[in-house]
Chain A
């Protein structure tokens, strides 16, 4: 194993070697390495291809801002596209492959795009590919799409799990560099509830990558001490590997903790946890990100950010090259030269774009003040750089120090705008921060160490004061302020070759000027026309450069030019993490009916209705088609007796002195005079006069009602009634509570239903038609003292009851009904048979009460009382809702009785073609009626009630069918209602 570029020292654990592979080649590294540092240690320069021109690219940065070194990490279903090698922690056995090339990484066939680049300049695709028209779909678009994108998804189900979580604190501190650590120590010692979060697996921020000292010890040593101090405080929680990705309203932050990404295997635990952090205050100490300079061919593998080169040397013990050059416009670049020299790495040159005298003595290096790089060489890795003064310097690594941009990202998530500071040539947070947020350290433009520490401490003291804490004692940290002078320098105009601004999306300085030329001059137009800053790195290292170029081209200041909008997430978050556990069968909870386990034992087929699982039908041995089962269930119910679990209907317990008046207002029809012991059908309208819901409501006592709602609307009806109670009629004495879950309720329907129930109700209860007629209700006991409620209501049109017992007895009641009913040939029926019977009886259900139909449409116009105030009656009188040609709910039967009707067909008059102008309505529900022996339907058709007997066409072009149907009464069965009253 060659780790040819390893230096001494660094914060890696040399006692823990690891092996990994890149494009199949096995190499070595150590714990504490990232994939990028390990690749550099192994002298791997070429790791990726750019998006558009497929230019060879290497590692550019040492953090989450990486634009170039994206790989597909892991294999099989675990494959993770676009993973930044610079933050992927090395683990033993890690496998990574390069992406976005055809053929090998080295000989990428798509690199022809690079030669064609003059034709592929900004916005070229908007101007061509239009002729001939037919070619777009067949040729151009497929070609464009095939070349789009970077990495590949495995297309397999993500095998890992993700979790969510909720944290609360007084102060959230984002970033554990010197500023963040100082803030956390101050806030923690004062007793505030503190969360300190850092993206990195090793807190310390730049301290890990620098040779700066605090209190006389290396910065990273101090960071470690600070950390153990914080970990000892009960009121402080330190989250590493946790990026705070967004700042949302009212102090809510989103954070992603990577739990097992640094391990070979997640061992069944969530791979990542998505935290929602509720904070009273936030301190952003997210540091700063270095940026590039635009000069000719500034994108080759080996050209890196200067701070990154330093990080690889100091933190990872890796020399990013054998002969390194530095180009800088500020003092910080020099530190790279100094640190590398101290590690005996050969420095080829230091090129400072500023005039003046060198900032340090770098033995053996050529120092060029006022220097300009105009070109670089080396197809698959840098070999030399050319200066405007004619100098040609052989070098295999160029450290670019273009200045640092404070990480203002989170300060802008609520539409804040950063402001430009000329002295540091950078945007810093503006005034309009998210509520409760303060910013300290480099993120705030406080670029030097001693000042950053002080800033962190000061901001913490301020925040503590705001929250009513007082700081204990000053931290008294001793540190230096390193030189940090900068003279903005963006672009070497005399460059030969293209100057890349956005490395990933291959946006060059020429694209910026072309964008200006074509009138796309606002930064937002620039972004959208050239795609500057739209890649996976969101332009962290390139945006400021790009807009500085635009400012120069348009003759405006950078301040005037402004930035594009910053949006969450700060660093990309897997979609799986946002979804958490809500996927697959756990996508939403399941609601079971009380008799679920009994139904399961009967072999029921279940179906989702909202969250509920309901028995759809109960197949018997030998039945091969669902229709056989359903027909049997219907027939047997109509002939003897059937039982169906109807618990899912919403039940609302309504009590209070004004309960009757209240119902009278929320229902369109009258309820005030409903006698105790009776049930009434209720029609509930929305205020706009459209039907909202229907159901039956029973009066159990003078001041006590139980309302049923449809399954689908249980929640919204409850909410609506609370609205009426609290907001519209706040003085009424009415109290609502849901009783849906309290009662297991069964429909017992069919001519033998009374006989069956007589076997289980306790002796004192008289079930006779006289004592307990249609629409009666009662509280009683059954099966020897179990409390129950009985309602004589019928959805099926048969003599029928609904019986309810406390849910704990529900499963048992199903069994008892079956036992007791055996002698009557009782049958359990599911929602399918329920549906058939309600269509046979002409009852409207979900397909008819679809939120678009009025009482008039449903044939219940006369139920809407004009004599009282009720929700919906005023607006239901609008002309448009009372047109003569309004659609009406009626029944339909096929003229050819063997024809099958289809829901969703539209009605047109005979002889008319099926076009919109001739559309007269639609078929809403259909069923095969075993009782009638043919298909029947319910539907809405214009003036339907006046057209009984007319034959129209049910047109169903979608399924290529046209069926002649006759308009009939919706009451296919027992239109006089003799059965249910019997």
Chain B
């Protein structure tokens, strides 16, 4: 069913009774060309692009819960391509371009809202770092603007310019950055994949891999075994525990990132604002809630919940830059389990087991990557060679000494 204003109008007149399910609820077949493990953003977009761009439609996405129950359903929805390193920046810029045409492409309004992202700088070295990054962005064909204090004041007069412990000295602004209605991304990709014949199998946990003579032949699931020519894992926060079933240890730890939403407020801030002298970033959802977050809790966990020190730290950061939010109430806090990699950058790669592929290590930044990750993973699965923007995202890069460490904090995931 194609969506349009006309369709909404026609349905309204007939009591909204003629809508069709966005996806079928199929039982898994015995065998597929590709089984994608994980029905999050990346799994669904991979399926979508496999079918749409590479003509591979004999595909199943196997999801242990409901579609979009993982990090795609709980992230702070920021999209941007303001990366520094050549192993990353072209990939994220590809992703941003895909976002820009996404809704027309999959006929679903995910409310891609490009109202800009503002990274505040509070000292000279930070500003120098942003300059280096802004230039890297421009050189990769992205957009970037370096703002001075006056420029920021004009854009966000309510920031604390006068009484701040760490005064605002400048900012890197990416006008094309912004937010997207996260759940709708999963639904749009899911619907698009389903329409092209992909089986989306919910409530079907993958419990093991069928590995025979070093070749992966399929998966064991809660709904029985499924054979597959290729098994493509993209389970984000569950990467460690899933790949352990294939006997693999990964350069990944699972950590919780909390996020927060305030009660609904009339328009308060445009776009995204990030604090540079503490852990706080914020945007406003289309429902009016201030959606904000900060640092990860910092300890290994698979529980989708965090603790108070980070809650306080994040709110302190918020009050430090925008003390007018003091009387806004925090409505809900939640957590998501993230696949924190050893250098803060992701993997889209084959494994040493033939037929088994891995996509993960997205840390707190994989939402923005959803389109490109799906596109590049589909490329790898269909052609068995990496997409040109994802050649560095290899599992063996630490062995070879080719880290992609944007933050420069080394092999300690909780610092990335």
Contacts and interface: CB of A to CB of B under 8 A. Distances in A.
Contacts of B134: 904, 958
A583 B331 contact: no
Contacts of B20: 518
Interface string B380-416: 0000000000000000010111110101111100000
Contact of B331 (A510, A536, A880, A924): A536
A274 B330 CA distance: 13
A342 interface: no
Given A130-B109, A580-B316, A154 B103 contact: no
A79 interface: yes
Nearest to A835: B124
B265 A150 contact: yes
B22 A880 contact: no
Given A118-B13, A153-B324, A583-B316, A879 B401 contact: yes
Interface residues of A, number: 123
Given A150-B266, A158-B324, A587-B164, A574 B329 contact: yes
Interface in A143-161: 144-146, 148-158, 160
Contacts of A957: 135, 138-139
Contacts of B145: 958
Pick from A127, A146, A415 the residue with the most CB of B within 10 Å. A127
Contacts, number: 364
A127 B109 contact: yes
Contacts of A125: 109, 111
B3 A586 contact: no
Interface stretch (B222-230, B235-243, B305-313, B358-366): B305-313
Interface stretch (B27-35, B53-61, B125-133, B345-353): B125-133
A274 B266 CA distance: 26
Contact of B305 (A150, A274, A413, A529): A413
A686 B410 contact: yes
B329 A148 contact: no
Interface in B108-165: 108-114, 122-123, 125, 128-136, 138-141, 144-146, 158, 160, 163-165
A844 interface: no
A852 B184 CA distance: 37
Interface string A915-948: 1101100111100000000000000000000000
Interface string A566-601: 011100111110111011111110100000000000
A153 B289 CA distance: 12
A904 B132 contact: yes
Contact of B320 (A137, A149, A567, A584): A584
Interface stretch (A246-254, A287-295, A324-332, A735-743): A246-254
A585 B333 contact: no
A850 interface: yes
A777 to B, nearest CB: 29
A531 interface: yes
Nearest to B411: A688
B367 interface: no
B156 to A, nearest CB: 11
A118 to B, nearest CB: 4
Contacts of B5: 128-129, 131
B208 interface: no
A713 to B, nearest CB: 11
Contacts of A580: 312, 316
Given A154-B324, A518-B21, A906 B136 contact: yes
A979 interface: no
A447 B316 CA distance: 41
A200 interface: no
A578 B331 CA distance: 12
Contacts of A584: 160, 163-165, 319-320, 323
A843 interface: no
B268 A155 contact: yes
Contact of A878 (B122, B167, B399): B399
Interface string B251-264: 00000000000111
B401 A579 contact: no
A582 to B, nearest CB: 4
B278 interface: yes
A818 interface: no
Interface string B72-86: 010000000000001
B69 interface: yes
B328 A536 contact: no
A767 interface: no
A80 interface: yes
A607 B163 CA distance: 14
B146 to A, nearest CB: 5
Contacts of B326: 157-158, 160, 162, 574-576, 579, 583
B86 A847 contact: no
A905 interface: yes
Pick from A144, A531, A590, A916 the residue with the most CB of B within 10 Å. A916
B21 A519 contact: yes
Interface stretch (A365-373, A481-489, A520-528): A520-528
A128 B86 contact: no
Contact of B330 (A148, A531, A573): A573
A914 interface: yes
B4 interface: yes
A414 interface: yes
A118 B401 CA distance: 59
Contacts of A924: 128, 132
Contacts of A81: 263, 265-266, 327-328
B122 to A, nearest CB: 7
Contacts of B107: 130
A522 B65 CA distance: 9
A233 interface: no
A975 interface: no
A141 interface: yes
B7 interface: yes
A906 B139 contact: yes
Given A609-B123, A904-B134, A578 B325 contact: no
A534 interface: yes
Nearest to B21: A519
Contacts of B403: 688, 880
B90 interface: yes
A925 B128 contact: yes
A608 B184 CA distance: 43
Given A128-B109, A573-B329, A905-B135, A252 B312 contact: no
Contacts of B295: none
Nearest to A902: B131
Interface in B154-180: 158, 160, 163-167
A152 B331 contact: no
A148 B140 CA distance: 36
A588 B321 CA distance: 13
A82 interface: yes
A608 B167 CA distance: 9
Contacts of B312: 164, 274, 578-580, 582
A922 B131 CA distance: 10
Nearest to A164: B312
11 contacts: A81-B265, A144-B111, A155-B268, A246-B308, A248-B308, A252-B307, A534-B287, A852-B408, A880-B400, A882-B401, A923-B132
Interface of A: 51, 78-82, 118-119, 121, 124-131, 133, 136-137, 141, 144-146, 148-158, 160, 162, 164, 246, 248-249, 252, 254, 274, 276, 413-415, 510, 514, 517-520, 522, 524-525, 528-529, 531, 534-536, 538, 565, 567-569, 572-576, 578-580, 582-588, 590, 607-609, 686-690, 692, 846-847, 850-852, 875, 878-882, 902-906, 914-916, 918-919, 922-925, 955-959
Given A578-B315, A687-B410, A904-B132, 11 more contacts: A128-B3, A148-B264, A150-B288, A536-B264, A575-B319, A583-B323, A584-B160, A585-B163, A607-B123, A903-B128, A906-B132
- What are the nearest 8 A-B pairs in CB distance? A904-B131, A851-B408, A149-B288, A158-B326, A878-B401, A576-B326, A880-B401, A519-B21
